[in-house]
Amino acid sequence: MSESVKKDELRARLERLVEDARRDGRLAELEQIFRSLTTVPDTAASTGEMPMRFGMVGDSAPMQAVFKLLERVVESDVSVLVHGETGTGKELVAQALHKYGHRKAKPFLAENCAAVPANLLESELFGHKKGSFTGAIADRPGHFVAADGGTVFLDEIGDMPLAMQSKLLRVLQDGEVRAVGANTSKKVDVRVVAATNKDLVAMCKAGTFREDLYFRLNVVTITLPPLRERKGDIAHLTQFFLKKIGAEMNKQVAVTPEALIVLEGWKWPGNVRELDNVLRRAAVFAREAIRPEDIGPPIVP
Ligand SMILES: Nc1ncnc2c1ncn2[C@@H]1O[C@H](COP(=O)(O)OP(=O)(O)OP(=O)(O)O)[C@@H](O)[C@H]1O
Ligand SMILES: [Mg+2]
């Protein structure tokens, strides 16, 4: 029996149990048990129970596959492309590749390729010489030089302009960078991790992403499953976030079985980030434990 089938069956049994308890007037007792399970006290033993690997919560089959892949590539220097919908944990994976690998003592520098204007991206990544453009008042190393020995994370790589893609490809091929306005290159040793929620294969076909760069970046692809395809992780993530939110708000908040069933039924277009936000809002309204009425309406019902 596959893990997801087992989890579905367990969930169905839990739903039946809640129904029975409500009918028999024992819902409060069930809630009490659940509260004890989901309110995480500050003990080492309880944190030991949290299914967490590489700093990420989860034990669903799709997340186990992610962890297995991480295990195999974390110590290597191969380029990794992290793919997944918004809020699925792409940045966490990029950080894990750095933090749990042999480069951890060196810098991890991230650049959001969608947020930086095209003309500044080259200088951000490769650096510039003083006077190479208006405003370049001093020499500045780019991320590839500053992160030497470490990791450069290229977030939203699908938004990198084509001209910049060619320059990046050259750096990846040669292992050396040339700052804007410089006439010599510098050897660098960085691991590159890129992330996107775009379909880069389709973009290659459409001519908006360089195929040769795609193959360079995509030595290994780690695809993060959307939250709706790993509903079994929702209870663990809820427990994880409530512990964090509780500490921030100085208030212990649990979740009722009924509220958890509601959360497990949502589609979560914003994935794990959305779950965090929903719990944060619900925790404000909740007294001891979050009830269905403390949770706002889903964005997509
Ligand atoms: N498995 C997980 N365990 C714990 N926290 C998680 C997990 N996945 C994601 N998060 C948390 O959810 C939030 C969103 O994660 P992250 O920023 O890595 O997503 P993303 O895929 O990069 O999203 P976007 O595409 O919008 O940039 C972060 O606060 C992150 O810490
Ligand atoms: Mg991100």
Kindly give the interhelix angle for 234-249 and 257-265, rounded to the nearest 10 degrees: 120
Q: Work out the pLDDT band at 247, boundaries 50, 70, 90.
A: very high
Q: Which of helix, strand or coil describes residue 182?
A: coil
End-to-end Cα separation, the chain, in angstroms: 30
Q: Is the CB of 197 under 6 A from ligand 1?
A: yes
Looking at 92-106, 114-128, 213-227, 287-301, which range is the least confident one?
Answer: 287-301
Q: Is the CB of 194 under 6 A from ligand 1?
A: no
How high is the pLDDT of residue 64? Answer: 96
Q: Could you report the per-residue pLDDT of 57-108, keeping only the tens digit for each?
A: 999 999 999 999 999 999 999 999 999 999 999 999 999 999 999 999 999 9
Nearest-CA neighbor of 236 among 265, 258, 267, 260?
A: 260
Mean pLDDT of the chain: 90
How high is the pLDDT of residue 97? Answer: 97
Is the model's pLDDT at 162 over the cut of 90? yes
Q: Is the dihedral of CA 182, 188, 190, 196 positive or negative?
A: positive
User: Separation of 281 CA from ligand 2 center, angstroms?
Assistant: 22
Q: Domains in the chain, start-ordered, CATH in brackets?
A: 3-55+228-294 (1.10.8.60), 61-223 (3.40.50.300)
Q: Is the CB of 58 under 6 A from ligand 1?
A: yes
Contacts of 119 (CB under 8 A, 6+ apart): none
How high is the pLDDT of residue 37? Answer: 55
How high is the pLDDT of residue 301? Answer: 45
For residue 95, give the ligand 1 atom closest to its CA.
18
The residue behind tokens 């708000």 is: 249
What are the structure tokens assigned to 26, written together? 């024992």
Q: Which of helix, strand or coil describes residue 286?
A: coil
- How distant, in Å, are the alpha carbons of 28, 190, 239, 256 from that of 33? 9, 50, 14, 10
Alpha helices by DSSP H, the chain: 3-23, 27-38, 44-49, 61-73, 90-99, 118-126, 143-146, 162-174, 200-206, 211-217, 234-249, 257-265, 271-285
How high is the pLDDT of residue 300? Answer: 53
Q: Please tell me the number of the ligand nearest to residue 92's CA.
A: 1
For residue 93, give the ligand 1 atom closest to its CA.
18
Report how far residue 296's alpha carbon sits from residue 279's, in angstroms, rounded to the nearest whole number: 10
- Our mutation pick for probing the ligand 1 site, out of 112, 197, 241, 273, counting the most ligand atoms within 8 A of Cβ, is 273
Is the model's pLDDT at 39 over the cut of 70? no
The larger pLDDT score, comparing residue 221 to residue 8, is at: 221
Looking at 20-24, 138-142, 179-183, 281-285, which range is the least confident one?
Answer: 20-24
Q: Work out the pLDDT band at 41, boundaries 50, 70, 90.
A: very low
How high is the pLDDT of residue 71? Answer: 96
For residue 275, give the ligand 1 atom closest to its CA.
12
Q: How many residues does the chain have?
A: 301
Q: Is the CB of 89 under 6 A from ligand 1?
A: yes
The larger pLDDT score, comparing residue 14 to residue 189, is at: 189
User: Separation of 237 CA from ligand 2 center, angstroms?
Assistant: 18
How high is the pLDDT of residue 12? Answer: 82
Return residues with CB closer than 5 A to ligand 2 (ion).
Answer: 90-91
Contacts of 163 (CB under 8 A, 6+ apart): 118
How high is the pLDDT of residue 119? Answer: 83
Backbone torsion region of residue 135, taken as left when φ is above 0, otherwise alpha when ψ lies between -120 and 50, otherwise beta: left
Beta bridge partners of 153: 110, 193
Looking at 46-60, 98-112, 122-136, 145-159, which range is the least confident one?
Answer: 46-60
Q: What would the mean pLDDT of 102-131 be, rounded to a whole number?
A: 94
The larger pLDDT score, comparing residue 31 to residue 265, is at: 265
User: Separation of 48 CA from ligand 1 center, angstroms?
Assistant: 21
What percentage of the chain carries pLDDT values higher than 70? Answer: 91
Nearest-CA neighbor of 292 among 277, 281, 282?
A: 282
Phi, then psi, of 127 in degrees rounded to 5: 90, 175
What are the structure tokens assigned to 40, written together? 């995480």
Pick the residue whose CA is nearest to atom 30 on ligand 1. Answer: 89
Q: Is the CB of 270 under 6 A from ligand 1?
A: no
Q: What would the mean pLDDT of 125-145 be, rounded to a whole number?
A: 91
How high is the pLDDT of residue 225? Answer: 97
